[in-house]
Amino acid sequence: MSVPSRYRVCVVGLGSMGMGAALSCLRAGLATSGIDLDAGRRDAFAAQGAEGVADGVAGLGGDFDAVIVLVVNGAQARQVILGQGGVADRIAPGGAIMVSCTQSADDARALGADLAARGILMLDAPVSGGAAKAAQGAMTVMASGPDAAFDALAPVLEAVAAKTYRIGSEIGQGATVKVIHQLLAGVHIAVGAEAMALAARAGIPLDTMYDVVTNAAGNSWMFENRMKHVVDGDYTPTSAVDIFVKDLGLVTETGRALGFPLPLASTAFAMFQQASNMGHGREDDSAVIKTFSGITLPEGKA
């Protein structure tokens, strides 16, 4: 597609997903800046040709046609957008903010309403795909919002996504789809951990169990990705246990709000809470397997 001259993008949050999105925008020829509190991440992005990097929008010049917010939760998103020195003050006329954190539908709607009151377009656009897909510009985007927001963010969506789902026009619908997606993701990790823990208790080598499952009907993307971490004994976080405490908390809150039972999600939520309580909150989410006692796991990185 034809990109408007000097179309400027700012990515807020240069973590595993945000860095991939920012680099994808650069590869697409978009003038892209990055905001992150971590100096190492800022330096890494600057080395790749960023237009600018800073720990806040005050450290960047000019206005932006598109802002992508890839922080941890809705509270952080609201703060970096509407808090003191927030990026909402730096949206160019006709520009839009793409809010891609996992948050409740209520939080997304409230943020959208506050931005609309200031005449700023918002796309409620959670993402999935992990660090690898983000780095490839191949994320899945679950977006809702007005057509004008989709239009304003078209160059960004083309740069970062392999598939963009237009869920609807109402802010909050994208957030709801992501919450439901996280129900599946969290349960898949938890049940994968349960299966591998049972294999360990039965004396089955975990690399053998992993190979069997990943070549059979019981496989899932989350099992294949996360249980490899267990086999390797490597719990270096790409997505931490505490992220799923948050996300499955949103899942259970959604179920309560709708008066809808979620027995599997509730059990998975309790497992991640237990893992966090045991001190594994900042480890990779596959560390939920450490909630099972009486088993020996492969040793590698902590």
**pLDDT 10s digit of each residue in the chain, 302 long?**
556 568 999 999 999 899 999 999 999 999 999 999 999 999 999 999 999 999 999 999 999 999 999 999 999 999 999 999 999 999 999 999 999 999 999 999 999 999 999 999 999 999 999 889 999 999 999 999 999 999 999 999 999 999 999 999 999 999 999 999 999 999 999 999 999 999 999 999 999 999 999 999 999 999 999 999 999 999 999 899 999 999 999 999 999 999 999 999 999 999 999 999 999 999 999 999 999 999 999 998 65
pLDDT of 301 reads 60
Task: Please report the pLDDT score of residue 300 as a whole number.
Answer: 83
Catalytic (active site) residue 178 = yes
Handedness of CA 49, 160, 242, 227 (dihedral sign): negative
Task: Check residue 221 and give its pLDDT.
Answer: 95
Tell me which of 163, 178, 246, 290 is the catalytic residue: 178
pLDDT at res. 5: 60
Domain annotation covers residue 94: yes
> Has residue 297 been placed in a domain?
no
CATH of residue 215's domain is: 1.10.1040.10
Domain check: are 190 and 159 in the same one? no
CATH number of residue 28's parent domain:
3.40.50.720
Are residues 155 and 217 located together in one domain of the fold? Answer: no
Residue 301 within a domain: no
Q: Total domain count for the chain? A: 2
Are residues 13 and 142 both part of a single domain?
yes
Tokens of 27: 């590869």
- Give the up-direction half-sphere exposure of residue 177: CA atoms within 13 A in the CB hemisphere: 20
Separation CA 189–CA 223 (nearest Å) = 6
What six digits make up the tokens of 240?
């931490």
Do residues 141 and 226 share a domain?
no
Classify 279 in phi/psi space as left (phi over 0), alpha (psi -120 to 50) or beta. left
Final residue in a domain of this structure, among 105, 136, 170: 170
Domain boundary, last residue among 170, 200, 231: 170
- Helix or strand (DSSP H, E) at 76: helix 74-82
State whether 244 and 163 are in the same domain: no
**Whether residues 32 and 137 fall in one domain:** yes
Q: Is residue 302 part of a domain?
A: no
Q: In degrees, to the nearest 5, what angle opens at C-alpha 227 toward C-alphas 288 and 300?
A: 80
Per-residue model confidence (pLDDT) at position 1:
56
Residue 82 is predicted with a pLDDT of: 97
Q: Is residue 2 part of a domain?
A: no
Do 123 and 259 sit in the same domain of this protein? no
- Domain limit, last residue, from 149, 170, 191: 170
Indicate whether 165 and 199 sit together in one domain.
no
Shared-domain flag, residues 102 and 19: yes
- Asked whether residue 103 falls in the same domain as residue 225, the answer is no
125, 199: one domain: no
**Quick one: pLDDT at residue 72?**
92
Looking at the fold, whether 210 and 154 belong to one and the same domain comes out as: no
Domain that holds residue 239: 176-291
Tell me phi and psi for residue 281, to 5 degrees.
Answer: -60, -35
Assigned domain for 3 exists: no
Residue 242 lies in a domain: yes
| Structural domain contains residue 63 | yes
pLDDT computed for residue 2 by the predictor: 54
Give residue 6's pLDDT.
87
| Residue 274, helix vs strand vs coil | helix
